[in-house]
Chain A
Amino acid sequence: METYLGEKQQASQWSPYINNGGSCLAVAGEDFAVIASDTRMSLGYSIKTRYSTKYLKITEKCSIVSSGMQADIFTLHKVLKSRAQIYEQKHGKPMSTDAVAKLVSRLLYYRRFFPYYTFNIVAGIDDEGVGCVFSYDAIGTLERVKYSASGSGSSLIEPVLDNQVALKNRNDIKKEDYKLTKENAIDLVKDAITSAGERDIYTGDFVEISIIDINGTHEDKFELRFD
Chain B
Amino acid sequence: MFRTQYDSDISIYSPEGRLYQIEYAMQAVAQGSTALGLKSKTHAVVVTLMRSSDELSSHQRKIFKVDGHMGIAISGLTADARVLLKFMRNETLHHKFVYGSDLPTGEVVSSLAMKSQRNTQRWGRRPYGVGLLVIGYDGGKTHLYQTSPSGNCFSYYAQAIGSRSQSARTYLEKNFKEFPELGLEELVLHGVKALKESSGKETLTKLNVGIAVVGKEQKFEILKPNKVQTYLDQILQTEGEIEIENENENEKDQEAETLELKLD
* Interface of chain B: mostly helix, strand, loop or mixed: helix
Enumerate chain B residues within 8 angstroms of A79, measured Cβ to Cβ: 97
By size class, the interface of chain A is 10 to 19
- B224 in the interface (beta carbon within 8 A): no
B77-125 residues with Cβ-Cβ distance < 8 A to A are 89, 93, 96-97
Interface positions, chain A 84-133, Cβ under 8 Å from B, are: 85-86, 89-92
Per-residue A-contact encoding for B248-264, CB less than 8 Å = 1, 0 else: 00000000000000101
A82 to B96 Cα, complex, angstroms: 8
Q: Report how far A86 CA is from B264 CA in the complex, Å.
A: 11
| Nearest-CB residue, chain B, relative to A78 | B97
CB distance from A215 to the nearest CB of B (A): 19
How many angstroms between the C-alpha atoms of A82 and B262 in the bound complex? 21
Distance in angstroms between the alpha carbons of A169 and B65 in the assembled complex: 53
Q: Is the CB of B97 within 8 A of A89?
A: no
Contacts of B89 in A (CB 8 A): 89
In the complex, chain B residues whose CB is within 8 Å of the CB of A86: 93
Contact assessment for B264 and A82 in the assembled complex, using a CB-CB cutoff below 8 Å: no
Q: Is the pair A92, B93 in contact by a Cβ cutoff of 8 Å?
A: no
Cα distance A91–B262 in the bound complex, in angstroms: 8
Give bound CA distance, A45 to B93, whole Å.
38
The answer to whether A85 touches B264, judged by C-beta atoms less than 8 angstroms apart, is no
Contact A92 B96 (CB under 8 A): no
Give A90's nearest chain B residue, CB to CB.
B264
- 15 A-B pairs in the complex with CB atoms less than 8 angstroms apart: A78-B97, A79-B97, A81-B97, A82-B93, A82-B96, A82-B97, A85-B93, A86-B93, A89-B65, A89-B89, A89-B264, A90-B264, A91-B262, A92-B262, A92-B264
Q: A81-B97, A82-B96 given; name 13 further pairs at CB < 8 Å.
A: A78-B97, A79-B97, A82-B93, A82-B97, A85-B93, A86-B93, A89-B65, A89-B89, A89-B264, A90-B264, A91-B262, A92-B262, A92-B264
